Chain A
Amino acid sequence: MTLFQARSTLAVSADSRRPNANDPIVAPEQTISTMTAKICAPPLQERWPLWWKLSLGAALFLVLILVISIGWLFYAGIGIWGIDWPVVWGFAIINYVWWIAIASGGTFISALFYLAEVEWRNALNRLAETITIFAAACAAIYPVLHLGRPWLFYWLFPYPNVMTLWPQFRSPLLWDFVAILTYVVSSILFWYFGLVPDLATMRDKAVAPHKRRFYGVLALGFRGSESAWRYYHVGYGLLAALMAPLVISVHSIVGLDFAGAATLGWHSTLFPPFFVFGALLSGFAAVMLLAVPARRLLGLEDFITGRHFDILGKLLLTSSLCVGYAYLMEAFTNFYGPDAAEKRLFANKITGELSPIYWATILFNVLTPQLMWLRRVRLNEIFVVLISIAVIVGMWCERYVIVVMSLRRTHLPSAWGGYTPTIWDWLTLFGAVGLFIAGLLIAIRLLPAISMFEMREVILRNARRDR
């Protein structure tokens, strides 16, 4: 049992909580037992601090607003939004694309890097996947709200009916519907599957009978036997292998929603990779943004260390460079291409009355992240938070540019129009943010914020290495 003996001193001073250049992936003083105890502690606590109650209250208030605005939407019709003629797509689509991109980060980190056997992802994948499922949930409501007659959304299913009609399989919207459905379902599956061993741990750590039952039921009787683990690892590997391509496909198809159209500003083969890049960027930004409060508030500094910020920062930088490349290509193809109307539209984007939004996109998604070249910035939590927020806002602006600004200036000048979002557009946006936050808060309240069984692997491996 040598491995389980505590190692050198445990003097944790205040300033060592700040991320540090040469942090290890997990603080050396952590042993399996200390780690488990530390991660199990928050969910098992009886009473939670005020910050949690307050923020949950605020989030639930936003959810209430969301419910109200959806109710009014269904009652009055989507005319309550700012969409008009010719700008028939608005916030619903913008928000949808925005959320689904935010969701991608989790899948990248937990699935892709799992396959790549990257050690550091073990501390982040739980957090990342939780972000994924709640962001994906927020994304999934918009395509339905977007419909003129939402109660008929099920006509998108290819189900046998007395009209003897099928959905039209040529339409990108149909592919989109299928892609999102698959993505959301498998994300939830992946997330839950990854939880099972930890739930078992919780079950065993919990004292109060109701908690033991609660975790017991969720753990599906996982006892950690040798065979159980063997099957478990195979299953987990398979799921990861399924998720990795999914995240690419889902964003390419979201891209095809636009590229598949003949609309000015959309009709470009660039879009599928472009949207994948965008997804990477906002995904990493979201994970980074939430890693900071997570480690601070849940006391996980030993597991989410400077090392993680260093790596995430570099990833963010890389993806922002990819996005910058995409922007560059968009401009290039427009001027290289033959279509005068396309040129006119792009000129309007960069110089027109709404050009500030375009330049904000460039500033937030391409320029700001360049700060990440500096290790000091990567390791400074304040900077990390600010840059991540900038990127997430920037990505929303990008979608505004793509959706609204393209539709405002179509081929015929006689059909040019404007677009003014209404209060209901904004409320639906913020309401969804509340839904997302509330989800996260409840998740960390009930579940271990870090995948314990995977952390064990890391610690064991470190221990072996030390020997």
Chain B
Amino acid sequence: MSSVNAQWRSLEELMQDPDFVSRVEQEFPMLGAALSAPRDRRQALTLMAASLALAGAGLSGCDGAPEGHLIPAVRMPSGVVPGMPDYYSSAHVEGGYAAGTVVKHFMGRPIKVEGNPFHPASLGATSPIAQAELLDFYDPRRAWGMTQANLPRSRSALEQALGEQRDKLAATGGAGFVILTGASTSPTLAAQFDALRKSYPQIRWLHWEAVGRENAEKGVALAYGGRFELKPLLQDADVILAIDSDLLSAAPGHLRLAREFAARRNPTRAKMNRLYAIEATPSLTGAVADERFIAGPRETRRILLALAAALLGGAPVEGPPWLDRIVSDLRANRGRAFIHLGPDHAPQAHALVLAMNEALGGRQAVYTLLDAVTHASSDDSLSLASLVTDMRAGQVSSLLIIDSNPVYAAPGALNFAEALGRVEFSLCLSATPNETTAAALWAAPMIHPWEGWSDARAFDGTASVMQPQALPLYQGVEPYHVLGLLLRPDPPPALDLVRQTWNDRLGGAVGDAWIDALAQGVIPNSASPVSNRPLRDDAARAALPEPSSAATILLFRPDPYLLDGRYADNPWLQELPRPLSKISWGNPLLISPRRARELSLANGDVVRITLDGAHVTTPIVITPGQSDDCVVALLGFGRRHAGPVGRNIGVDFFELMGRSCAAPDIQKTGATEELAGTQHHAAMFDESGVYARSGALSQFLADPGFVRRSDEPQPSFYEWKPEGPAAWGMSIDLNACIGCGACVVACQAENNIPVVGKAEVLREREMYWLRIDRYYDGPPESPKVNFQPVLCMHCEEAPCEPVCPVGATMHDAEGLNVMVYNRCIGTRFCSNNCPYKVRRFNYFDFAGEERRAIESRNPEVTVRARGVMEKCTFCLQRIAAARIVADRDGETASAVVTACEAACPTQAFTFGDLAAKGSEVAARRAGPLSYALLADQNTKPRVTYEAHIFNVDKPEETQK
């Protein structure tokens, strides 16, 4: 643990180092200036522009005397080696649940987020959002300062105001004081809330998420009579039935669940599980299901009842014909079958499903019940609706909103903003100014999670202490400090509070336990205990509420990347193509092909949706595989009070939320809007047979090599032989890929890939080195989906190489197809000649025009200039680092892990040395399912794929 200790000690010193701020100013010139002028965002931006000019200069300055200065620190903090990266553990918190991360630093500047292999919810993987958190950390909009009634105030003024609140609390005993915050698993926060309640018995708090899971929680409460956490154990599940489920994309611990699911998907390596999906609108879970069935809300209810009847006994209910097959399959696999229901269904439905799971006898085997991980609101009766009523009734005198944006994200029907006006004291803590800070009386910038001490728990309860990655860049306020001020004038620092919380487990002083906990990013055996609370017998009799009888039902879903809009200002997440629609920078209404035909709508046609007088106008996108009786609105867009990136991008559907469940009126306006799709050709059918290959398990069992039958070996005059000590290659398992997009953002972060913006995406100039192609198989109404990550294939006979007139792209001895940016003159012939079209061209100075802090870039990768071609390098910088260490210290090269491989939750990517003995990638390459993309082009790609096998018996269901 020596390196670990070094990490910690250096951090400790950083924390106590009075020079640190000055170091910040030296090393973050832009940020330093921002510190001195915190309120002027514009100035911060101009300063960034200045630093960006430097970034743009990435390829200039070849000749003559060098410019610039060497600026050493006044005092070098020990442990920081100039030019070498450091790593500090942290965690990415989503809906309260933590997924462990490790943040990579250069000279004290965070530049990259990796997953934390020790953390149960990460296992080394990250979500796209966790990767993109980097940009939020550097977001100059965080430098905005305190405001009262939107006028700048000093920090002391705020503390004084909070002092008055303290006196008031003491007087009233907390009556009329409400704290509104997002879902939380932080024991330290919980402790603080309890402390507050001890001093002010009447104080109330509400944990509220715009797209929360309270349905599921209430369902558990109904079924087991208490607050519990359901933890699926997918690695042992042979049959999974997912109903409107987000099991693999958003459910708590989804990274781990995806890993466990994928571990059972490749028939060459494991006994395949089988996934049935029943859903109204296509989800990632449905996309990778062996069999997917479309059912609108009403039919789903009938299906649930039919299932209940079949599994729990009772009067049989007529379900769709295919349901019997599922039921018998579930029955046949008692104890190894698991049913998962999405968070949008009513608590009663969840209770029913829990009862079915008990009936299937999978408890402890394929799922367990844990004591609740999230912190409860002060009382169960408190909900956002009831809070708003109280606010209107004037029963709420003070409202403290922490890291939540109800003015934007509360159901439009509630009209939260108006209610907020009636609260006499309101304070909103938020990282960046948003709709709520504008409406609240007081607003203050909250620190970024990387700037303070805190803790959070994973879906299974495992806790992590989150350490600061840097001192606050923009004078943010710690939530703990604000809450502490409500208790006493001189609240203890967050570090003390966190230490207090873990006192018994880690010891009060800084000992090895504490250090290891920080180094590993997890607190050992802190997981929630397994509960053996029995199912309440009335759970099976839960009566499902009648769904709307409307002809068309408007469903709301969180955008996969912006969630409830909190990430709308993050350019990486805005531009990341949505997994299925492949659309970026917008949230068109999802509508089924048949409905579109009925309403004579084409992609991009603008419609006007009216519901109870409220209306929005939005473009539509036709979504294969969606139920005809519903249209789906993605939340999180149309932010009115966001930064230059997210403001007025897309449509705000919260407006229509919470209205009656009558049928929305959809009228074609005649206008059209271009959709910024990255798969420019409309949905592609019947193509994947050749490219993203797939087949049925029965086919595989009959003829394991069947996917390769089509391409016979090509004759060649000469074979390329690896001369170097290594022969790098990659194998991508299409069975594992769930299309989540984590690899794409990881690649973007690692390789300084610029964001080009909506206009340029519309002009088909996005810059992704790694893209995920999406092919449809079968009828547009209910197609099969095949995802295929495509990156530079590093062909041994690379067509791009011979056509470059200046030799800017060459082969190296280890089989890498290297692109030398500074030699490139931009003829773009290489791109013409690339059959896979993985090369991207800088039509403008995209990197220079990016609104991005230069400090956030990866110093190990060239920032490409205007007029230069670029492409995937197999993370050459990582290979080079390993190579240098190996040569220098005489060890054998440590395993190189590419950014995409590291981020992938399902381990779809395997990168390595084909020449090395016992190399995993070589083994996968030799596997029966392995095939080369466009093998007939005779390019001999170093990247191969493993064909997608569906666990079905009848080929025609997956293959044409």
A interface list, Cβ under 8 A from B:
76-79, 82-89, 146-150, 152-153, 155-156, 165-168, 170-174, 177, 260-263, 266, 339, 407, 410-418
Contacts and interface: CB of A to CB of B under 8 A. Distances in A.
B721 interface: no
B825 A153 contact: yes
Contacts of A263: 832-833
A356 B868 CA distance: 34
Interface stretch (B88-96, B521-529, B739-747, B796-804): B796-804
25 contacts: A76-B844, A77-B845, A86-B764, A86-B831, A87-B764, A146-B827, A148-B824, A148-B868, A149-B826, A149-B865, A167-B806, A168-B804, A170-B802, A171-B829, A173-B827, A173-B829, A407-B832, A411-B835, A411-B836, A412-B836, A413-B691, A414-B788, A414-B790, A415-B837, A417-B681
B679 interface: yes
Interface in B747-787: 760, 763-766, 771, 773-775
A410 B934 CA distance: 12
Interface of B: 679-681, 684, 687, 691, 760, 763-766, 771, 773-775, 788, 790, 799, 802-807, 823-829, 831-833, 835-837, 840-845, 865-869, 933-934, 936-937
Contacts of B869: 148
B806 A156 contact: yes
A144 to B, nearest CB: 10
Contact of A149 (B681, B687, B788, B825): B825
B679 A414 contact: yes
Given A411-B835, A413-B684, A167 B825 contact: no
Contacts of A79: 760, 765, 843-844
A266 B824 CA distance: 23
A407 B828 CA distance: 12
A62 B826 CA distance: 27
Contacts of A413: 681, 684, 687, 691, 775
B829 to A, nearest CB: 6
B843 to A, nearest CB: 3
Nearest to A175: B805
Contact of B807 (A150, A165, A262): A165
Nearest to A177: B805
Contacts of B825: 147-150, 152-153, 155-156
A341 to B, nearest CB: 9
A342 B807 CA distance: 28
A83 B843 contact: yes
A168 B765 contact: no
Given A152-B825, A171-B805, A412-B790, 8 more contacts: A84-B765, A85-B841, A86-B831, A86-B837, A147-B825, A149-B867, A171-B802, A173-B829
Nearest to B823: A165
A147 B805 contact: no
B764 A84 contact: yes
A168 B832 contact: no
Contacts of B828: 83, 88-89, 148
A156 B868 contact: no
B375 to A, nearest CB: 45
Given A149-B866, A173-B829, A262 B764 contact: no
A174 B824 CA distance: 14
B766 to A, nearest CB: 7
B680 A260 contact: no
B827 A85 contact: no
Contacts of B841: 85, 88, 148
Nearest to B764: A84
Nearest to B680: A417
Contacts of A177: 805
A295 to B, nearest CB: 42
Contacts of A155: 806, 823, 825
B602 to A, nearest CB: 15
Nearest to A339: B936
B937 A261 contact: no
B835 A412 contact: yes
A414 B802 CA distance: 25
Given A148-B866, A149-B826, A411-B937, A85 B831 contact: yes
Nearest to A173: B805
Most buried by B among A77, A79, A416: A79
Contact of A261 (B691, B764, B833): B833
B764 A85 contact: yes
Given A262-B937, A412-B835, A413-B687, A148 B842 contact: yes
Given A85-B840, A171-B829, A412-B837, A262 B805 contact: no
A416 B680 CA distance: 6
B566 to A, nearest CB: 31
A415 B824 contact: no
B934 A412 contact: yes
Given A89-B828, A415-B836, A77 B805 contact: no
B939 to A, nearest CB: 8
A168 B807 contact: yes
B823 to A, nearest CB: 7
A77 B790 contact: no
B832 A261 contact: yes
Nearest to A153: B825
B718 to A, nearest CB: 15
A76 B841 CA distance: 15
A426 B1 CA distance: 66
Contacts of B680: 416-418
Contact of A172 (B771, B803, B937): B803
Nearest to B686: A413
Nearest to B831: A88
A86 B836 CA distance: 10
A414 B773 contact: yes
A168 B802 contact: yes
Nearest to B766: A85
Nearest to B692: A414
A77 B680 CA distance: 23
A360 to B, nearest CB: 24
A262 B763 CA distance: 25
A170 B771 CA distance: 30
Contacts of B829: 171, 173, 261
Contacts of A85: 764-766, 831, 837, 840-841
A156 B803 contact: no
Nearest to A156: B805
A410 B837 contact: yes
B675 to A, nearest CB: 13
Contacts of A77: 843-845, 866-867
Contacts of A173: 803, 805, 827, 829
A210 to B, nearest CB: 45
Given A78-B867, A86-B831, A414 B803 contact: no
Contacts of B763: 82, 84
B153 to A, nearest CB: 44
A173 B828 CA distance: 11
A262 B826 CA distance: 18
Given A153-B825, A173-B803, A262 B837 contact: no
